[in-house]
Amino acid sequence: MSKVVVVTSGKGGVGKTTTSASFATGLAMRGHKTAVIDFDVGLRNLDLIMGCERRVVYDFVNVINGEANLKQALIRDKAHDNLFILPASQTRDKDAFTTEGVGKVIDELRESFDYIICDSPAGIEKGAMMALYFADEALIVTNPEVSSVRDSDRILGILGAKSKRAEEGLEPIKEHLVITRYSAARVASGEMLSIEDIQELLGIDLLGVIPESGAVLQASNAGVPVVRDEVSNSGQAYQDLISRFLGEDLPMRFLDTEKKGFLKRIFGT
C-alpha cells in the first residue's frame, strides 16, 4: 500500500525542501521505493538540494501535459537506486496544475512506489493546494517563531477542509509536527518558543526536532541531503524522525543545552 506524504508549512524558508529531500532519501536508505515531487512550479529547488540539477530533462508539467511520460521525467538518485526525483517546471506557471492532471500522475506513481513525497511551495496558492490535496499524511515544518507557527496553524486548517480526504469524508490526513532550526540554548534563555509551547499551540503530534546547524547549509552547498551526513546533529535528527515515522519509539535528541563553564556561569550566554 503506497503512501502520499506532503511536506508543507505555509511560510517560506522554514525547511520544507531540506526536509523533503532528507525524508525521501532516508526512506530510500531503509529500502523503501520512494519518489519525491517538487510542486514549486517556476521556482524549482529540490533538484539542487538533491544534487541532480544537471540531469533534469523533462519535468512534472511536461508529464501532466503528456509531452513526456513519467519514466522519462523521473530522475534516479545517484546514491540510491530506489529513489526518484520528479522536478518542477522552471518556466511554466502554476496554472499548469489541474486536479485531474496531478491526480493521474499520483495514481501512476502509487502503482510502483511505497512512498510519494510531495514538496510543497510556500503560500496557499494552487501549487501548495495541489501538493496537499492527495496526501495521506503530512509533515508540518515549523520554526520556533511566531509567523511560522501561525502559518502552520492555517495550513492545518486547510488540510482538514480542502484536501481530497476531507472533501470525500475519508479518514483525515495524519498530521506530524516537524520543528526545524531549533536552538536549545535560546529556548533555555527564554528567547525562543519551546517544543512544548509549539505543540500546545498547534495540537498535533511531534515527529522530530531538527536543531539549528551549519551542516544544513553545507549539505545544500554540496547537493547531498543532510540526512546522509551521519556525523551532524541534523543528519541524525532526520534519521530519528524517519525511524519514528516508520513506527519506532525513539526519544528526542539534541534538546539539551551544553554544560556551562565557569565564565558562562558568571556572564551568562
**Which stretches of the chain bind other proteins, using CB under 8 A?**
145-146, 149-150, 153-154, 157, 187, 189-194, 197, 201, 264-268
The residue among 1 and 263 lying less far from other proteins, judged by its C-beta, is 263
- The x, y and z cell numbers of residue 88, run together, are 518542477
Min dist. Cβ of residue 202 to other proteins (A): 9
Please tell me what DSSP assigns to residue 38: E
For residue 217, the SS3 value is: helix
Helices (H), 52-183: 60-64, 70-73, 99-112, 126-133, 146-162, 164-167
The residue among 106 and 149 lying less far from other proteins, judged by its C-beta, is 149
Min dist. Cβ of residue 171 to other proteins (A): 21
The residue among 157 and 172 lying less far from other proteins, judged by its C-beta, is 157
Q: How many CA atoms lie within 13 A of 173 on its CB side?
A: 31
Which residues make Cβ contacts (< 8 Å) with residue 32, sequence separation at least 6?
Answer: 82, 114, 115
Total residues found in the chain within this entry = 269
The residue among 251 and 268 lying less far from other proteins, judged by its C-beta, is 268
Min dist. Cβ of residue 122 to other proteins (A): 19
The residue among 192 and 210 lying less far from other proteins, judged by its C-beta, is 192
Min dist. Cβ of residue 166 to other proteins (A): 14
Min dist. Cβ of residue 194 to other proteins (A): 7
Contact 210, 181 (CB under 8 A): yes
